[in-house]
Amino acid sequence: MKTIKTVGVVGAGTMGSALAQKFAQENFKVILADREMKFVEKGLNGIKAMLAQGVEKKVFTPEQANATILNITGTSDLNDLVVCDLIIEAIFENFDAKKDLFKTLSNITLPDTIIATNTSSFSVTELSAYVKYPERFLGLHYFYHAAKNRLVEIIPGEKTSAETMDAAKVFCIKSGKDAITCADAYGFVVNRFFVPWLNEAVKIVEQKVATKEEVDAICMEAFGIGMGPFALMNATGVAVAYHSEKTLEIFGEPYKVASLLKQQSELNNPWELGENSSLTVDEKKERIIKERMLGIVFFVVSEIIDEKICTASAINQGARIGLQWKKGPIDLMKELGDVTVKELIFGYVSSYSNVQIPNSIGINFWETEHVLFLKKGDTAFITINRPQDLNALNVDVIAQLDEKFSLAEYNPEIRNIVITASGKAFVAGADINFFVENITTHHIENIASFTSLGQNVFHRIDNSVKNVVMLLNGLAFGGGLELALCGDIILAVNTAKLAFPETGIGIYPALGGTFRASRRIGKGLTKYLICSGNVLSVGDAEKIGLIDKAISIDDMCELLAGNLPLNSFTQKHDKHFNGKFSVVEKLFNNYSIDNILSGNITGDEIPSEIKAEIQKRLGQKAPIALKISENLINNNSGDNEALEEITSIFSTNDALLGLSSIGKKVQFQGN
């Protein structure tokens, strides 16, 4: 498989410069090219301005920003790209311009250099006809703003090799992107339903059904978004929407470009928009806008599923990650149900002649796969694939994890089971919305059932006769760390973070974290981690024995690709710490939480600054959650004892306050 270290980006405009910035941030060497150095310099200056804003907002340190700039070289000579392992075309959407560029790049590059197009509308297969060795060509479609937006669509052409696809997927992981794979069809996944959604908004205004401000306001509410379609077109370019929709006209009458959109694009002006935050829309208009805007999305999504362009999960991920919709189209369809969705699609299609109703309408077509399974030799790879929600655990995820683990456990050919996840998190805890919803509707029994289900699945994983390796690709918080502790071996990439944040949101670890952490690092350090909620770096987690080994992201990708033997990482590592961890271990071994909070600590073995820091952190936690956690750890309690406390803890005001105020400072009352 091709190893990508140096990336060329052709086109130093908004998209190209953003891609160059992102790749450079992730420590790739980047060559940013354009036809004249004045365009390259403009792109580099834009990157510097973005990084300066990031430093000001403390997203980056000055050192990180400087390192990013040093990773980028600008050029107006395409011959300089000969050293690149991957070249991404990011020029304007003109087929002839792109094909001419690919002809030139084919004559410059080595045969194994991967060439990708960032086209948002053209066929990857058609473009590949202008590339020598088309097996190394594919689509990598990124989304605005590409330095921040994690979504990328990976699109193989008819001749794209499996090796090229594998290299692209690894590159996406290393460059901090969440990838969805789709077939080569105009619009791919997201633009196929998003651009017609924009076009439909213009049609509503063109037909004088409602104003631009009214359409934006209703869409923001209906789709859970921060900007309506007209504001979004102003942000990304009205002409971009026009040209993208023009390409989609091949799919029939519902995709025909609105005359007003063509007119506005030719004017090369943004839409004039007034204030809509306090706008009141009458019920009839609101209903029509919702029906039409939902109708077009549901119609197109059903066509996508009909044509097998991608999975239902990929559609949701595209909307949630790339467009920042609060709910994906599949989520909305499930929520509304078969009957309503069919009514909306039929209602939308009825305004056109000779338009076929998609076949893929109904709950059977809306199954979303949150946990993936792949067998390679004697190893099963189980991947939690819900990156849009940081792989948070809910009933569906736990049930699918159980199902996929059973496939591995009962297969006699499988000796090793690797559990990992996609995106920037391993598992960032349980689904908080599920907890809040069931507390506020007085259905705490649902939380107890979920906890019991999770305990049973984790118990199976923990007690499996197979060799279970947990591969932490990112954040492992709360339930995610509890899942990790079920592994025989725990590996974590260097950038991962680990924590038990539960007592800071009014609850406690109930999926085995108390006794499994104690088994690994002892009761003192377990109490410290759970009761303080401190976030551990991978280095510190390895020191205290919470994980077995820190690995590089390169090693993680090689391991997942099957290029590194698993036994390279399967030796447990002993604890090797002193200093602060020795002190806090002694503190929590020798004194109760009450004694620490009250300062009732004798002797001088604990430095005053550490006592003060711990007292402050414990004082910010929920008292009832602290007490339950301490008792569970002291008594080495198992799942049954943890489950017994669920109803009482989720009935407290502190739990509702903490779970409803994630990311905010709260004052717990102990009730």
CA dihedral (154, 158, 159, 163) in degrees, to 10, reads 30
- Among 120, 128, 175, 265, the active-site one is 120
CB atoms within 10 A of CB 381: 21
d(CA 179, CA 140): 9
Sequence letter at residue 267:
L
d(CA 448, CA 640): 11
d(CA 209, CA 635): 67
In order, the DSSP letters of 592-631 are -HHHHHHT---SSSS-HHHHHHHHHHHHTS-HHHHHHHHH
- Among residues 154, 189, 179, the alpha carbon closest in space to that of 423 is found at 179
d(CA 663, CA 39): 41
CA dihedral (107, 113, 117, 123) in degrees, to 10, reads 80
| SS3 label, residue 415 | coil
Complete edge-to-edge strand list for the sheet that includes strand 549-551: 371-376, 379-384, 416-421, 467-472, 489-493, 549-551
CB 476 within 8 A of CB 469: no
d(CA 194, CA 530): 43
Sequence letter at residue 522:
G
- Among 191, 302, 473, 637, the active-site one is 191
CB 541 within 8 A of CB 470: no
d(CA 112, CA 321): 31
- 380's enclosing H/E stretch is strand 379-384
- Rounded to the nearest 10 degrees, what angle do helices 190-206 and 238-248 cross at? 110
- Among residues 529, 500, 495, the alpha carbon closest in space to that of 614 is found at 529
Considering Cα of 25, then 31, then 33, then 39, what sign does the dihedral take? positive
Does residue 191 have an active-site annotation?
yes
Q: What is the largest CA-CA distance in the chain?
A: 86
CB 184 within 8 A of CB 254: no
Does residue 442 have an active-site annotation?
no
- Among 71, 89, 141, 438, the active-site one is 141
List, in order, residues 6 or more apart from 52 with CB less than 8 Å away.
65
31: β partners? 8, 73
In order, the DSSP letters of 627-664 are HHHHHHHHTT--HHHHHHTHHHHHTSHHHHHHHTSTTS
- Among 89, 135, 153, 213, the active-site one is 153
Six-digit token string for 84: 């690149």
Considering Cα of 259, then 261, then 263, then 265, what sign does the dihedral take? negative
d(CA 84, CA 458): 45
Six-digit token string for 152: 């990328």
List, by residue number, the catalytic residues.
Answer: 120, 141, 153, 191
